[in-house]
Structure 1
Amino acid sequence: MLNENTLQRLLEKLPQLKQEIQKVIVGQEAVLDEVLVALLAGGHCLLEGVPGLAKTLLVRTLSRALHLSFRRIQFTPDLMPTDIIGTEVLEEDHVTGKRFFKFNKGPLFANIILADEINRTPPKTQAALLEAMQEAEITYAGQTYALDKPFFILATQNPIEQAGTYPLPEAQLDRFLLYIKIGYPSEHEETAILSGTTGIRTTQVQPVLDAAEIQQLQQLVREVTIDADLVQYVSKLVRATRPDTTTIDYVKEWVRWGAGPRAGQALILTAKAFSLLHGRYAVTMNDIAVMAYPVLRHRILMNFRAEAEGVYPDKVTAVLLQQIERTVTRLS
């Protein structure tokens, strides 16, 4: 348990972290909050947006604002699992002359991993990330290697360029705590971007948090309180996404497959992180509503009719938030 002074010092660093990132990233307030929520909750996130919306810049800036090791992996069609995990090489002991195999660690052995254009690599290489994302370790030649902590993967993908891409399988999508969509900036924000990036001025980002402090914050997130009625509400919300058990006709009409229990875990954990990020120590109904979209949008599988008529998971989430009977007795 952290003492009061340490707790206060850590919480004061969260707005400082946002300020450092916002020296470079203009606007995108909701996106930045969601990325920081994933970091605090100890999960990974998938960033989707058209080219030129600063997805890679956001991740790089985050890494500069933290005292953590950072590696960028450019995913390509010819990338192999050993290119990201590592491989064994034959070496010789110059003293004894004996030869032995030594494991050379790949770029996954870092705190922050930018998996750039993750959907450009084949399923075999995508699958190499599954163990790392779930267990924070990798297995090679029968030997298990622990990854550095904290371990945070931010993957990017382009939604409009389908040639030469391999859609992520549902099993891997579910490993991402949040699926974050990045939209175009407002007119005011775009003007600020153009002014700030076409001159000679450079921006220095100062590191704010180190690995130990981030792990302390991740533990603190789990100590944020949530009312039992809100836990019940989350359970009801997640169960309502499943066509075979829901009572909501909209879901039965458009959804092929609903979210599993991991979605409920993710929703509670991210709501706690969102609450802490905004200086609160108890989850509110609004925290759950805000985080429901990035938590559920990659865990609700639409049917063919929905895809043809342009009905997306976010619409289903909006309907659920409106229609589900609120069983909580205190809406804070």
Structure 2
Amino acid sequence: MTSGDPSFETLRLQQVGRTFGRQAALTGLDLEIRKGEFIALLGPSGCGKSTALNCLAGLLPLTSGSIWQDDVRIDTLPAERRGFGMVFQNYALFPHLSVRRNVAFGLTMRRLPKAEVTRRTEDAIRLVKLEEHAHKLPGQLSGGQQQRVAIARAIVLEPSLVLMDEPLSNLDAKLRLEMRTEIRRLHQSLGLTTVYVTHDQEEALSLADRLVVLRDGTVQQIGTPQDLHTRPVNWHVADFMGYRNLLRLRAGARADDGVVVEGDGLRLVATEVGDISEGADVVVAVRPEDVVVSESGGSAGLNRFPATVDVVEYQGRELAVEARMASGVRLHLLTQHRLAPGDEIVVGAPVERLLAFAAEEPSRSSADTGVQVPA
């Protein structure tokens, strides 16, 4: 086999690992990618997601493990013989070549007939809606247009797999939304198989059929967007999937509908994730949108507690609020109530929205993902 097979059914990464000196950047990655799937590798900086992509692309040799396309091992093949397309974060366009010549470059290097090169190049340019800009140089294009050229250059090769390494991170918010839709449209209309690296959980949720969450080079969870959004397996995944409120508490007795957790002046009933023994340290996670402000204040009680509004940010239909509990612990919530700094409120969360996880570590610094778990 001299190149990747465009008709493959599955691509398997088996115990893939990569070390740099004594530092393990990726450990024991097992992943099966089915033809036509959109897979997102998700996690904070340094988690191993780009390392995994580069190992798959052939830009980094494996330290351990293997990669198989159906029953053919491909990790021993050089990058140019795997038949994959690559879209980089910085576009990597040739600045002295026009859009048309950038897109045609890979086909020309393969010495395909001129008529085929022309046809496939024009088809790719039309797919990314750049017909009017085909004669321009990259420097004459906007960032979003340059990214479209990079995508066209990848798909024109009709690759068995398209690899994308944070392709939208250099674009502004409006362009990111537009390009997100464009990437998903191309994936569906062309029947592509795509592996996409991002640190943006919203981006991953909107694009991917399945997500692979990595942390410190190891897989934390693999599942559909719905799985990870509603059923994270540990508090690291919950944190990265938008559970911004992480409260360090202690597990008490079992309740009819969950587990009692206490600490910092709180007594809550939360939904237990995994096995938690009585007296164990736990991290309770809840999304800002699941924290409810009582209509008319009300009294504190089980899963209801007083707080003082500190910061209010206007976000259109909703306000993003940071409130402080009596213990000093801060809580983030989204609400349509018109609140102002200094307001005294009572907030709560239903049992099914409060997830209690075993606290695997005593604390975590903001260097990880920007959130400090109270000790």
TM range (shorter): 0.3 to 0.5
Higher relative contact order (CA 8 A, sep 6+): 1
* Structure with greater helix percent: 1
TM-score under structure 2 length normalisation: 0.32
More strand per residue: 1 or 2?
2
- TM normalised by structure 1 equals 0.35
